[in-house]
Structures are given as C-alpha cells and as structure tokens.
Structure 1
Amino acid sequence: MREGEDAPEKFPNPGFGPHRPRRADVDPRADKRAERQVVALFALSVLGTIGFIVAYFAVPPGDTIASMRTSNLALGLGLAFALLGIGLAAVHWAKSLMNDHEKAEDRHAQRSTDQTRAEAVQVLRDGVQDSGIGRRGVLKGALVSSLALFPLTIALPLIGEVGEDWNVSKFKRTLWAKNKKLTIDPSGRPIKAADVTIGSVVHVIPEGLDESEAPLDEKAKAVVLLVRMDPRDIKSEQGEGWSYDGIVAFSKICTHVGCPVALYEQQTHHLLCPCHQSTFDVADSAKVVFGPAKRPLPQLPITVDDEGYLVAQSDFHEPIGPSFWERLR
C-alpha cells in the first residue's frame, strides 16, 4: 500500500488454486497399492507390539549392566516399531487415500445453531465415508488390530511378570546393619574416624559389599556420603547421637528422582544434586534449601568400634530415595 492510500476494509479472497489429483485418485492400481502399504505399516505396529511382549518375558533385565542394556534395547525397539507403524500408517492413509480437496469455512458465532450441529454430524459421517474404511475391510482390521494391541506395551510393565514381588517393604531397608563397618568406595577398605579430616568427603559402602551376592539394586541403595565438619557447625541431626565428632553420613540417593548427590561445598556445607540442582544443608540434617526435592537426605546413624573404625549403629530409619506407594512421608 502506498503512502496516503486508505487501507482496504478487507482483502480480496484469493481462492483456491486448481486441484491436482493424486495418482491414487485416477489409477485404481495405485489406490490399491497405497491401501496395501497402509496395511503393511499397521502390521509393522502389530509385530512391534508382539516383539515388545516377547522381549519383556524372554529378555529380563537381570542383575548386570549388560543384561539391563540388552533388555532395554529389546523393549525400546519393540515399542518404537509399535508406535512408528501406527504413526506412519495414519499419515500415509491421510495423504494417499483420504479426500484431499481443500475446504474453507466462514467464521460463525460461538454458539452453533441446531442446523449447524446437524451439518457437523453429517460432515463427520462424510469423513468416515471419505476415509473408505467402510469398504476396506482389510484396512479396518489392520487399524483395529494395531490400536488394540499397542496398549499392551504400556499395560504389561505396569502389571508386571507373573509372580512379581509386590512387597514394598524391601524399599524400606538397605544392606546397612548394626556394627557394619563403613568402607571406602570402591576399594572396600575400612575407614577410621582419625582418617577423616575436617572438610573432607568420602564415598562409603557397607563392609563386604563386593563379596555380597545381593542384587545390583540392593547394592545401589547402600551408597553413602561421609562428611566431616567442625562439630560446632552442626545445627541439628535427624537422631540424637547419630554423628561422631563432627562426622555425618547421609544417603547419596537424591530424594527427588534418585540421582547421585555428590557435590559438596565446604564453606556452606551444602550438598548439590547435579541432575536438578536440589541442594541439601549437611549441617542441618541435610534439609532441602533449594530445588525440587521435598525431603532431607536420610541420615545413617554412625559411631566407632573399639578399634576406632567407623561403623553403622543400624540401618537407615526411613526409606532412601524418591517417594513410592505406601511411603508414609
């Protein structure tokens, strides 16, 4: 628009360009070929779902990193093909078989009239007829089969294997026990209180963990962070007498989503989780001072034995890690 000219009240309607028919619109063989392609994609989804179910039972996670990696890969591939088949089939169906004529509708009042509603219902019916699902029996069967089977990829892990142990009490305990020595991770060497200097941080595990035949998840729950500070800096503890001469021990598993907490700032006594920046004050019962975590890190009660080695007074007094069902707090 040139300077000084009045703006038009509305722009002219450019209309639609000439419609260009697709090959499937004019060639029955191309139409049939496109239908077979859509059916094949839905069949791919069915095979993906079946593969997921087979992998769920035939390739369990096991207790080693390699077995977990293999199980996750098999499940991931099955889930990927199950979703990919449905998605590609829907796109190819819409682009090659459904009506592709451009349509435009004028804006109407927010509240439709009864006649408009009746017309909308008719449009839906026309859409169903346009899709050709009523006269394409094989295509309809492939669609129903893929959509009916796919939810199994979500439901099966939730239901669990036959005979799955649903006892949640196992989440409330770890391998720590009374008089269990604190040993350096990963060497397993017992540690004396005199070996820990003020400001130092030591990653510790229960004595005998390497020789233990406990499952990998049980070992992962037992990791602990040991910190020594000036006893005068300790503001509070989760239990009376749970520290020794300024040495405190807390679970390394973040109470947000279970990441390893390990970044200690000596001047502020803050402990940072690198995943989502939850920050805990070690000097004040590991209470949350920042971030999405909602609970302090559980404290491990510790003391020393007759030889001066650091030992646990008991297991944690509360479940470690993120929340789960039946957890009271």
Structure 2
Amino acid sequence: MESRRLKLGVKTLRKDAVANTKSLFANLVTIKYSTRQLYWCKNMQSTMQVLQIADEYIKKHPLELLSRIDLEGQTIWIKRRPPSKRTRWHRLASLLTYVIPIATFYPTVVTDKSDSLIQEAERLRLFATKGLPVPDVVASTSHYIITSDVGLNLQQLAEQITDREERVALFEKAMSALVNLHQANLCHGRPSLRDMTLQNGTVFLIDLEENPVAVMSLAQAQARDIWLFFCSVARYCKQDYSVLAHLFQIYANNASPATMAALRQMVLVIKPVRIISEYLLAAVKSRDLRNAVQANKMLEKCLKKSKC
C-alpha cells in the first residue's frame, strides 16, 4: 500500500512538473514576443510560426517593404514601411494649409513608421467589424504587419483591360465600395485604384495607414476620398471623361448632404488653381497634374448640375 502511494505521489509530481514546464515555456514565448510588441494575432501557435518565417524572410530581404509569401497553400503579405511616406500630394497639402485654412487640405500621413503600422492594423480590424471587405490581419507588430492576400489591385487590372465597358464596370465596383464605406460612417484616406483590390468579384480596401478624421470632420474626409478617387480614375479616361460624370451620379445618389457640401466647398476652392494649372499643362508635362485638373473640372460640372 505504501509503495502504491509512493508511485501515485511520483506521478503527481511528474504531472505538476510537466504543467509547470509548459507554463514556463508559454511565459517565455509571451515575454519574447511582447518585447517585439506583438499587438494582435488570431491563433497564437500558428501566428508564432508565421512570425518566425517573416523574421527569416526579412533577414534575407532587408530592402523589401512589401513581400508576398506562399505558405502551405495560403498567400500572405508582409508589409513594412520607411519612417515617412510623405508624397508630393502631402507636401502640396502642407503648403495649401497656409493659404487655404480648410481642414480638407490638411496632410494626414503618419511619419512614424511604427505608429503607421499599428494604426493600419487597427483600422483594418475596425473595418472588418463593420462587415467591410478588407484583408485579414494575421499578425501585427511595430515593425511589420502580415495580412492575407485579396487579389490584384485595381490599377493593375485597369491597365490590363482594353475594353471600355469592362473597365467602366470595374470603376463602378470601386465606386460602390466607396459608397458602402461612407455609409458605414468611415473613410479610406487615400482611395486610389492601387489601394483597392478585386477578388472573386468583390472589391477589397487596402493601405489604410492614413486616418483623416484625426484632423478633419468625417464629411470632409469623405469628400477628399471622392476627389482623390476621381484623380485616380481620370488617368484611364483617355480623353473621355464622361465616365467620371457617371461615377459621380452613383455616389451622389447615396451620399450624405454633409459630404456633398464638403465636396462642393473643396472643389470650388481648388477651381482657381485648376484654371491656372490648365494653362500650364502645355508647358508642364505632368500626368498627375492633368488628372487632377480633369477630375476637378468634371466635379465642378457635376456639382453645378446636381441638386444635392
């Protein structure tokens, strides 16, 4: 009897030792990744494996900011970011704020790369809770985020499509995606065609690192969304800008009065600059400038006819 009790005691000690070892290992893993600021993950075990793969890949490709990896039949994207993503638009917006004190023109780029990545991961999760089509965030750290694959971006598709009607149908899908986004009381921040993708007939929203509502009202942010989207689409109009009028009507039929008022204000403020720029186009060979001029010009016409 005594020996039996002794055996049971040994078994109990072994179980406790195993449990303590597992607990210690789990704590070590948590400590290891908390120092790297692991903000969120879906499945801890699988995410740890993905993070290890991501770390190894980044060591081998230190200069890649966006990397695609095929992992066990699934495609994931590793996204990193340099300290600042200030573009010509952001620099121009900074200058305009001194001349035109309207919040719509305030720059919204996040200059700190860790804040930018954290903010994008948080916005992706927020959009997902609203039922909006966005990539799944597999994991996010202060150094990179890992997301699921959601197809080709619309800019790539627009360049591949040669049929006008097919291209217009693609733009309609993108416009409808923006309508749904705005009706959810959200904004994109930089909704160019390259910041949307298409997968299985659904338009997904990507690259959400900018959050305009931090410096302007939601209506102003949504108005800016539309203006930037029109500039992006104008690139593919090939002198036939009637497609912009068609897209405007789709949006106007579903837009809030506040957003339409903010869009009207923005377009009218830009109009004098547009008129001057239009005369400069012959001397300045800038496709971005031409797209902005044509987008604002068409919005001027559409808003003049609109009753919104």
TM-score scaled by length of structure 2 = 0.21
Decide which structure has greater helix share. 2
Larger-Rg structure? 1
